Amino acid sequence: MLNFPRPYPDELIYSVVARAGVHHGIASPKMLLDEVFDDRKIIATVDLPNHLANIAGQYPETLGYSTESLAYQHTLFPVYAPFTTENRRLNCLNWMASSSQGAIHLALGVAASRIKQERCMCYCPQCLDEQKKTYGEYYWARQWQLAGANCCIVHGKLHAAKSLRHEYHRHQFFPASPERCPAVKDQPGKEQDRKVAILTGLLLSSLPAESASFEQWSHFYKRLALQAGCNRGQQIRYESIRERVCQYWTMGWLNAQGLHVSDDQSCWLRGIFRKHRKSFSYLEHIVALAPFLPDDCRITDVISQVKVIQSLMDQCEQLPPESQQPAEAIQPKRKEWHALVVKYGSKVARKGNGALYAWLYRHDQAWLLDINHQFRQERPKTSPKINWHRRDRNTVRKLVIIRDEYEPLLDSPRWSKSWYLSKLQKSAASIEKNPDKYPLVHQFFHRYCEQTTDYQIRRITRSLLSCQYPADRPERWLLLRMSGLSDERITPITNRFLQEVLKYHAGNTI
């Protein structure tokens, strides 16, 4: 696309594409996708868009726009990147450059997050007025679309626009405009929202950098709790952490953000101070960190501190020589454990003997792992509970009945694999999950599933039988319209069939 608009400071890629449609007078969403991406299947994504390589390709190389620069300056990726692993961060950048099919939202935990996005786009009326005076038009700013940061740092509370984040037409980019963003009276924002807005603003302005590992985050949070006195020896006292967090943020605000804090073992706040086995969202990190940090502390400085922490594996030190157990203490333990694994096997022997196992694991780990491997009991093989061959034959019989029932009906949908599975109902999930268990079923699909050409010919045949065409010959355009086809979608074989039909009717009218 020529004269593709350059993004304004802190503008979303979603907004840039929407303004491109306005500048070029393109009213059709599909036409805009063709012009910008050369692909009509692109979904208008607000937070973590894909196909950034196509956007970067719209600008001259001298402007210096790249996939990484667009991701960090014009999407919400910077608030997620520091809290995931480095390998996943790089994979997400690659997905944003091309296509992810939703993988990036799964990888960063957005799809299954307890923090739900707002249904509508958000905006600040005063900021929009300043945009109009400075640039002559409105645009969507990144800071407005972050969950938890429901406040403009300068002006106050953000307001819901008359534009849904996930519209019914998910391929359409809606620009910011006075109609969608009406002027409203100023309202002061909540203090908690303002704190989150300040911290997320620092994250959005951060430069591309390597992410810390889960081990580094685990060690940082443990040290943070110890320094705050929320510990009992080397154990973290969750009750003290919970009380401190709830006093700082208030329970009402936490519940409104989906961050309910409880005494459950599965509570997110308890998990973030444990060993990290998954990434936590930016809002969870902000809520957990803020009560323990000074007011003037920058979250970007915290992230820098986490990165310089050596991993826990590097910090694990060998026991000093004086703490090593003598052979006289180890031998009785070995004999006791050896007798247990010989009698019960390594797995069953641990039941009721956890103290012995833990002692050997700490002081004689190499011998313990070796003896366990020697006496590992194989799981007994059991006969299969399902007669797959009988199920395969019964399913094929059902498919044959379905085929015979619908074969005379020319107006039925395309007889594809998905269509047949929808008619089977209960057996469909089993066939999809166990494809190697249904050889007869898949042979049926290979032989009887209707291809696109066959379906198009059936639709044309149905139109010929139902169309009351004139005595001379049926019109090509009329047959295509009645069949729901077009010259762009029709296959070569179907086109040849249609030509022969028209030629036959033309010959019979002479």
The reported pLDDT for the residue numbered 313 is 44
Tokens at 442, concatenated: 């898949």
The reported pLDDT for the residue numbered 382 is 63
Do the Cβ atoms of 375 and 345 come closer than 8 Å?
A: yes
CB-based burial label for 49 (10 Å; 0-12, 13-18, 19+): buried
Radius of gyration (C-alpha) of the chain in whole angstroms: 32
Outline where DSSP puts E strands in 272-397.
none
Mean pLDDT by runs of 10 across the 510 residues of the chain is 87 92 89 88 88 89 89 92 92 89 87 83 91 91 88 88 78 89 85 89 90 91 89 86 90 88 88 90 91 86 87 46 65 90 86 89 89 78 77 92 90 89 81 87 91 90 74 74 87 90 71
The reported pLDDT for the residue numbered 312 is 46
Single-letter code of the amino acid located at 434: N
The reported pLDDT for the residue numbered 297 is 82
Sign of CA dihedral 30, 33, 38, 42: negative
Length of the chain: 510
* pTM for the predicted model, two decimal places: 0.64
The reported pLDDT for the residue numbered 264 is 86
The reported pLDDT for the residue numbered 397 is 93
Do the Cβ atoms of 189 and 150 come closer than 8 Å?
A: yes
Task: Name the β-bridge partners of 160.
Answer: 122
Report which secondary-structure segment, H or E, holds 122: strand 120-123
CA distance 299 to 282: 10
CA distance 294 to 300: 13
The reported pLDDT for the residue numbered 317 is 44
Q: Rounded to 5 degrees, what are φ and ψ at 139?
A: -155, 160
Task: Give the count of beta carbons closer than 10 Å to the beta carbon of residue 500.
Answer: 10
Task: Give the count of beta carbons closer than 10 Å to the beta carbon of residue 481.
Answer: 12
Which residue stretches of 61-213 are H helix? 67-74, 86-97, 103-107, 125-135, 191-204
The reported pLDDT for the residue numbered 322 is 40
The reported pLDDT for the residue numbered 147 is 87
End-to-end CA distance of the chain: 51
